A = this chain, B = another copy of it.
Amino acid sequence: MRPKIYLFGDSITEMSFEEAGWGASLTNHFARTADVVLRGYSGYNTRWALKVAERVFPAAGEAVAVTVFFGANDACLPDRCSAFQHVPLEEYGRNLRSIVSFLKERWPKAVVLLITPPPIDEEGRLQYISNPYMENPSGLPERTNEAAGEYATACIDVARECGSPVIDLWAKMQQLPNWPTTCLSDGLHLSVAGNKVVFEEVVKKLEEVGVSLQTLPSDQPLISHIDAKDPLKSFPN
């Protein structure tokens, strides 16, 4: 049985198998060593994630790692057009702690890797929500980079308290040149380059805690290890 790496999160996780997505890249990276299992729920905040956690992660499964990537929806402003997704900062931290505890109890040996929400490009969001199908009477973006930053800080605090590794995506992306258009596609979701950042950070963080191609055994003999003169030697009954 191959170990599983679950990806638990919102639309940034659910969309991670779109073109050059970070989930697809992880699956490709771990192709012969671990199963990457998609558990992305578009639009979800930590309040709803916590409600479904028991059903999302049945006791039967086995995990070597879980990425927990929420906060982008919790950080929707409470007085703007996506207010129904908003979760107060203090509750976000509490929910995230509960999710980590739940996963640790489910799989005591699994790495629970937290990922902060990405930064927000408010111009990009305004362009996106200014389409005729969205109701946005205020004319203001539903998310701000400042609010996302507060949720990122809370996420990092939870990781420290729980002894979990964390990717500070909010800070990491803002170090990159022209991050609003380089890393994001609509001010919130990831571009091809943004997906690459998440993929590389996840691989690096998992490697730091011992989950890597070096530590996971390969499933079935690799072609490079099969003796061309006697291939069946590699396949004992």
Question: Which A residues form the contact surface with B (CB < 8 A)?
Answer: 1, 14-15, 17-21, 23-25, 27-28, 31-32, 35, 37-38, 40-44, 47-48, 51-52, 55-56, 58, 60, 84-85, 219-220, 222-223, 226, 228-229, 231-232, 234-235, 237
Contact = CB atoms under 8 A, between A and B. Distances in A.
Contacts of A18: 28
A220 B27 contact: no
Contacts of A51: 232, 235, 237
Given A42-B222, A56-B219, A84-B226, 4 more contacts: A23-B27, A24-B24, A24-B28, A84-B229
Contact of A38 (B25, B35, B44, B84): B35
A17 B18 CA distance: 10
Nearest to A11: B223
Which of A47, A48, A85, A232 has the most B CB atoms < 10 Å from its CB? Answer: A48
Contacts of A222: 42
18 contacts: A17-B24, A17-B27, A19-B19, A20-B20, A21-B24, A21-B28, A23-B24, A24-B27, A31-B38, A31-B40, A35-B38, A42-B223, A43-B223, A48-B226, A52-B220, A84-B226, A84-B228, A85-B231
